[in-house]
Chain A
Amino acid sequence: MRVAGLKLSLKPAITGIFSRSGSKTQVSVLKENIWIICSTVFYRIEHQLSPGGTGIGLALTKEMVQLLQGTISVESIKGEGSEFTVLLPVTRNAPLSDITEAADLIKVTDDQYDKASSYAEPLHPLQTPKELLTVGAIVPG
């Protein structure tokens, strides 16, 4: 049974101006962007949603996005889902990487996976907020 949906999509976008000279239409590119859109859909809203995390992960994401000179925004509808939109500028100045496989760009070893996921809110089954609540409820006797 799947209870929630998550869609990550990538959309290139160009902002430009159209100009016409004679019968020809020219487009001059002003700005090229890429959108990373992450939508969450809740299929079964009758279930109680888990409490959210600390929000530090999201604050850090915002810093990362800003570092890349992009923007991040969110739109939520209660009980239906939310949509995070990351907008990153497109440049093509960096040296062409001779690495051909995506996997080689970042080696996801166990250690690095831990490191990467440490930026996020709980991913590990034992690190869910549910577990946190359980621990808090125990009174030493």
Chain B
Amino acid sequence: MADLIKARPGEWMGTGLQKIKTNSHILLRLVNQMLNLAKAEAGAVSVNLVRRDVNKYLAYLVEQFSSEALRRKIDLKFTSAGEPFEMDFDPEKLVHIVTNLVSQCPEIYS
């Protein structure tokens, strides 16, 4: 790609740079994931529990994805009994879990 931009900058400068950036991000994400996986497997990740209403927290987390879901044309809903449910949970780990579950919904090409 870099060679292509060098050879024909007029044609490739715009899209080419964007593609390099995008792929660098994908690579960085992958490296981070592998790093975190290695950390988790080595037992180097600690659990930090707080006692709170998990219902409210999950609703908040799902809310963070609403614009993302709208853009990806995904009908995102969160349902629960609605009553406060107090328990111990690790806010950060729950973010990862929910982020991943939501991201499992595949893109659909139309």
Which residues does A use to contact B, with CB under 8 Å?
1-12, 34, 36, 38, 40, 42, 44, 47-50, 52-54, 56-61, 63-65, 67-68, 82, 84, 86, 88, 90-97, 99, 102-103, 105-106, 108, 113, 116-132, 134-135, 138, 140-141
Contact = CB atoms under 8 A, between A and B. Distances in A.
B74 A94 contact: no
B25 A126 contact: yes
Instruction: Say what secondary structure dominates the interface of chain A.
Output: mixed
A36 B95 CA distance: 13
Contact of A126 (B22, B50, B58, B62): B22
B41 A63 contact: yes
A68 B48 CA distance: 10
Interface string B63-85: 01000110111111111110001
A121 B62 CA distance: 16
25 contacts: A4-B75, A6-B77, A8-B102, A9-B80, A10-B55, A10-B79, A12-B85, A48-B108, A65-B97, A84-B104, A91-B49, A91-B88, A92-B51, A93-B88, A94-B51, A97-B50, A97-B52, A99-B52, A102-B53, A105-B50, A119-B32, A126-B25, A127-B25, A138-B1, A141-B4
A95 B86 CA distance: 12
A135 B21 CA distance: 11
Q: Which of A86, A108, A131, A140 has the most chain B CB atoms inside 10 A of its CB?
A: A140
Contacts of A95: 50-51
B10 interface: no
Contacts of A58: 100, 104
Contact of A125 (B71, B93, B99): B71
Nearest to B18: A126
